[in-house]
Structure 1
Amino acid sequence: PRSLPTMSSGPVPSREPPRYLSKAEAEAMEKELLEDYRFGRQQLIEIWGHACAMAVTKAFPLPSLPRKQPTVLVVCGPAQNGAIGLVCARHLRVFDYEPTIFYPKRSLDPLHRDFTTQCEKMDIPFLSYLPTEVQLINDAYNAVVDAVLGAEAELGEGRGPCAGILATLKHVRIPIVSLDVPSGWDVEAGSSGGISPDVLVSLMAPKQCARRFLGRQHFVAGRFVPYDVQKKFELNPPEYPGTECVVALSAPQ
């Protein structure tokens, strides 16, 4: 029988450490994906939200959770990171986790409203307030997903309406999973006494602040980035085994 033609498997991932992006570089890469490669914003948020849910399942596999109910609290802010959190919650529900969403300042963006409706239609509960008694959070949930601020937040936003949320998250004892940039951190300088996540999920590529991440696991979700963009920004992506879209970096770089 005739053998099938072999297809190029693409570039071999670099063995060098992944490149850590500045805020300007991350913004330029996202702009290129949106404008030159014609990714839609909904498409990117969906990709990122799914990847974040995958990272949660890797960090907290169902059989290993200490409680019978695989409960996860997803705390969403009003901007893009919050929308990624909504998509993450929806996928966690599909993966048989039990997410609850706290989304106090809902965006008027029609896209974000659609993501909210999807979660509501899937009977994912929304909290009307975040308990200030951190014991209630510790007792009710296995983990918290921090989708409050993210990379697009300006330094100092954590002192605004989100200050109370960050103060509560700073004192919880259960693991926190931060999406892209931990809330209250500067994209480049890192933490200024803010929250200390156990898990970080870097979207596209790690940001400079990830060098100062001291938690348990650092995942990168950038396999979808076209090769030419990887090359242009010299990402040195990690090797993604099989069909994985999310990979844990083996050690701090």
Structure 2
Amino acid sequence: MDKMNHSSAEAEAETIEPLRYLSTSVFVSGSKGEAAAIETELLRDYRFGQQQLIEIWGQACALAITKEYEPTIYHPKRSSHSLHQDFTVQCEKMDIPFLSYLPTEVQLINDAYNLVIDAMMGPEADCANIKEPYSGILVTLKQIKIPIASVDVPSGWDVEERSQDGINPEVLISLTAPKKCATSFTGKHFLAGRFLPYDIQKKYELNLPDFPGTDCLVEL
């Protein structure tokens, strides 16, 4: 009996497909890359709200950060810029620390902070045409010595592959499913994708790993 169970377990393990890494070069319905198509279906077909997705991803990112680093809540003075001011107010309501600007002095950042969370550029960013203020911030991030944790795609990386012009984070938190560039990431890698409906996971053959207990993220 034990031998039969052992053989069955081995056969099941052999049929497990590898985790899928999403690519923007693969188009769905002739119009969108996989990551964008999945988000569209979540909003349109499964009635997720945009703010709801942001909160789900934000919670997972916060948990991943606290697994690796000592959390310290810091709320800077509000910027006079209306967009920054509105965003800072929202972050304060959710108890999320947010800097309305990034100091350009590298040593100042190294001395004043223990960690930088990089969520500056997303999967759709054109890394070959980065404009100000992002290009200047990227230069600063590449010089700092404190740890960096990147959300979804490290800033300066192409979604398809790692870029030598990008930053080098210690931690990467992939949202929904990892992007293709993450195959070359060598640091601590977390995935926030437990919320995905089974039908979407099956349709896009994501082959997500099991999430431990009630956790909303898993270390890859």
After TM superposition, is the score higher than 0.5? yes
1:146-185 to 2 correspondence within 5 Å?
146-185=118-157
CA distance in 2, matches of 1:140, 1:212: 31
CA distance in 2, matches of 1:31, 1:107: 29
Larger Rg: 2
In structure 2, runs of 5+ residues without a counterpart are 1-11, 25-32
Q: Relative to structure 1, is the Cα distance of residues 138 and 25 closer, same or farther in structure 2, using a 3 angstrom cutoff?
A: same
Letter in 1 for 2:19: P
Letter in 2 for 1:223: R
1:238 equivalent in alignment to 2:213: no
Q: Relative to structure 1, is the Cα distance of residues 239 and 137 closer, same or farther in structure 2, using a 3 angstrom cutoff?
A: same
Residue 133 of structure 1 aligns with which residue? 105
CA distance in 2, matches of 1:219, 1:150: 17
Q: Relative to structure 1, is the Cα distance of residues 124 and 44 closer, same or farther in structure 2, using a 3 angstrom cutoff?
A: closer
CA contact (8 A) 2:75 2:99 kept: yes
| TM-score, with length taken from structure 1 | 0.70
Q: Relative to structure 1, is the Cα distance of residues 48 and 18 closer, same or farther in structure 2, using a 3 angstrom cutoff?
A: same
Residue 198 of structure 1 aligns with which residue? 170
CA contact (8 A) 2:149 2:173 kept: yes
Q: Relative to structure 1, is the Cα distance of residues 202 and 131 closer, same or farther in structure 2, using a 3 angstrom cutoff?
A: same
CA contact (8 A) 1:147 1:178 kept: yes
Greater RCO (Cα-Cα under 8 Å, separation 6 or more)? 1
In structure 1, runs of 5+ residues without a counterpart are 1-11, 63-69, 71-96
SS at match of 1:156: helix
CA distance in 2, matches of 1:103, 1:218: 32
| TM-score, with length taken from structure 2 | 0.80
Letter in 1 for 2:139: A
SS at match of 2:117: strand
CA contact (8 A) 1:103 1:126 kept: no
CA contact (8 A) 1:147 1:179 kept: yes
For 2:55, which of 46, 51, 64 is the aligned residue? 46
> Pairwise CA RMSD of aligned residues?
3.0
Residue 20 of structure 1 aligns with which residue? 21
Identity of aligned residues (%): 64
Q: Relative to structure 1, is the Cα distance of residues 126 and 224 closer, same or farther in structure 2, using a 3 angstrom cutoff?
A: closer
